[in-house]
Homo-oligomer: A and B are copies of this chain.
Amino acid sequence: MVSPAKKRQTGCPIAFGLDTFGDRWSLLIIRDLMLKHKKTYREFLDADEAIATNILADRLKHLETEGIIKKSRDPENRRSFLYSLTEKGCDLAPIILEIIQWSGKYDLRTFARRDVLKRIEKDRDAVIAEIRSGQADKDNQTIGSHRTKSPR
């Protein structure tokens, strides 16, 4: 198995965070779930950063094991699966937003536009609430009924 980050077991909260979501790819998957409304394996594969398929499979497994994401069958297409953030995963939103703000300040080429940054700054809680509501139901999600298209 290709493991992402063996546990450092040092008791430090930063090390703990790095071990669970801090490798070269995990946060990008989380970003896709959180901000780009991606849900399927194929959508993650097609990200601009071009993750390799075996690495993607490994990271999804790892994140699921860590309880950051969950996997469920697509009720409308039995050959595909839908990934979504758990509560624990949604709680990473503040970290993601802080990274966006830092990069917004220091990366001149970043695509994070002024308006997005301003929104995060002024309406942080609403942004986070939207992220949460964008994920499937906390408990037993998307059973039967139509996939509610993500509200645009």
Contact = CB atoms under 8 A, between A and B. Distances in A.
Interface of A: 5, 8, 10-18, 22-24, 27-28, 31, 48-49, 88, 91-92, 94-96, 98-107, 109-112
A147 to B, nearest CB: 26
Contacts of A99: 13-14, 17, 95
A103 B31 contact: no
As for how many copies of this chain the complex holds, the number is 2
B13 A107 contact: yes
B109 A11 contact: yes
A37 B102 CA distance: 23
A63 B94 CA distance: 24
Given A16-B107, A110-B12, A98 B100 contact: no
Nearest to A14: B31
A112 B18 contact: no
Residue among A22, A27, A92, A102 having the largest count of chain B Cβ atoms under 10 Å? A102
Contacts of A23: 24
B105 A91 contact: yes
B109 A88 contact: no
